[in-house]
Amino acid sequence: MTAPHNPRFAWLTDPGDRGLAIMLLAPLALLVTLIVVYPVLRLFYTSLFDHSLTSGLPPRFVGLQNFGLMLDDPTFWTTLKNTLLITLVTVPGALIMGLAMALMANMPFKYHWPVRLSLLIPWALPLAFAGLIFAWFFHSEYGVVNDILRRFGFQPVIWFNSPGWSMTAICLTVIWKTSSFMALILLAGLQTIPRSLYEAADVDGAGKLRQFWEITLPLLRPAIAVALIFRTITALQTFDIPYTMTAGGPGGSTATLAMYIHQNTVSFLDLGYGSALAVVMFLLSMLVTVLYLRMIRARG
């Protein structure tokens, strides 16, 4: 049962392996070009212009001037520092918490669903909700955190009145929110480790801790790498939680680079400078991705 053969459409009915691959990939390539490549190129282009909607003037080409302004902009450095701090604290924090949660979920409980559900809930909760909810937890008068402190005889803390405590509250929230994502990826990794390895180790007399270091951790390395790449990039882009918890306060001391980009573009309507800041964040994310990929390749 073959269709009448028409040589003009031969490439369509029998494209060959290479041709088929191109045809199947074309829609995706087009989509990625439209929603990723074009906007990124456009971002680089806009970053070279003095383009402020409040000036009432048309965009003016200024070369790298926006990047030069950044060097003298203390807010840029503060927000960059805060972003890196949040990344350095919350990525390892979420990895440790996530690993503990994954190991727990992988234990042979009779009922898996309560553990797995509690893994899923923080992950499924929108970031902004998490921020708003935790802002109430940490509220100095009505918050549950201070209530607990009082019950145990400690002095309550005015969390959002000091840069250090505000940053602590933000990092705790980010770790709570993101460790379940880590746990989900790590749980998937754990389930690929054959049980027979542990049985063999039992026979050889290796203890649980030894099994964790010698079997679980090495075999989990690819899953950890994937989880770290995703988590680090989203950590560099941290926006929702500090935005909803502190709005950058007190006095801008907890604002992140993503919040500063948002402020410059959406509030100040300075598209040129905002784009230049976004270029920096893009390059930072690329750098991290490349470093991780090289690390995986070097090990693998």
Partner 1 sequence: MKHLSLAALAAMGALASPALADADLRIFISSQHQPDVWRQVLDRFEQATPGVSVEIETGGNTSEAQAQYLNTLMSAQDPSLDVMILDVVRPAQFAAAGWTLPIEDVDMAQYLPAYAEANTVNGKVVALPAFADAMFLYYRTDLLEKHGVAVPTTWDELREAAKTILAAEGDDSLQGLSFQGKPIEGTVCTFLLPYWSLGENLVEDGALTLDEPAAIASMQLWKSFAEDGTSKPNISEVATDDTRKEFQAGDAVFAVNWSYAWAQAQSDESAVKGNVGVARLPAMEGGQQASCLGGWEWGVSAYSEHPAEATALVKYLSSPDVAEFMAVNGALLPAFPQVYEDAEVLAAAPWFADAKQVVETARARPVTPRYAEVSEVIRTTLNAVLAGVSTPEEGVAAIQSRLARVLR
Q: Is 158 in the site for partner 1 (CB under 8 A)?
A: yes
| Measured distance CA(173)–CA(279) in Å, rounded | 27
Q: How far is the CB of 136 from partner 1 (least distance, A)?
A: 11
Q: Is 263 in the site for partner 1 (CB under 8 A)?
A: yes
* Between 71 and 107, CB nearer to partner 1: 71
Among 209, 251, 297, 298, indicate the residue that binds partner 1 (CB under 8 A). Answer: 251
Residue 247 exposed, middle or buried by CB count within 10 Å (0-12, 13-18, 19+):
middle
Q: Is 85 in the site for partner 1 (CB under 8 A)?
A: no
The DSSP secondary-structure symbol of 205 reads T
Among 269, 283, 286, 287, indicate the residue that binds partner 1 (CB under 8 A). Answer: 269
- Interacting span for partner 1 (CB under 8 A) from 16-24, 224-232, 260-268, 285-293: 260-268
Strands 60-61 and 49-50: antiparallel
Q: Is 160 in the site for partner 1 (CB under 8 A)?
A: yes
Residue 164 exposed, middle or buried by CB count within 10 Å (0-12, 13-18, 19+):
exposed
Letters for 16-55 (x = contact with partner 1 by CB under 8 A, - = none) are -------------------------------------xxx
* Between 252 and 272, CB nearer to partner 1: 252
Computed on alpha carbons and rounded to an integer, the radius of gyration of the chain in Å comes to 25
| Measured distance CA(216)–CA(50) in Å, rounded | 53
Helix, strand, coil shares of the chain, percent, nearest 5, are 75, 0, 25
Task: Give the other-Cβ count within 10 Å of 171's Cβ.
Answer: 21
Among 22, 36, 266, 286, indicate the residue that binds partner 1 (CB under 8 A). Answer: 266
Q: Which residues bind partner 1 (CB under 8 A)?
A: 53-56, 139-141, 158, 160-163, 247-253, 263, 266-269
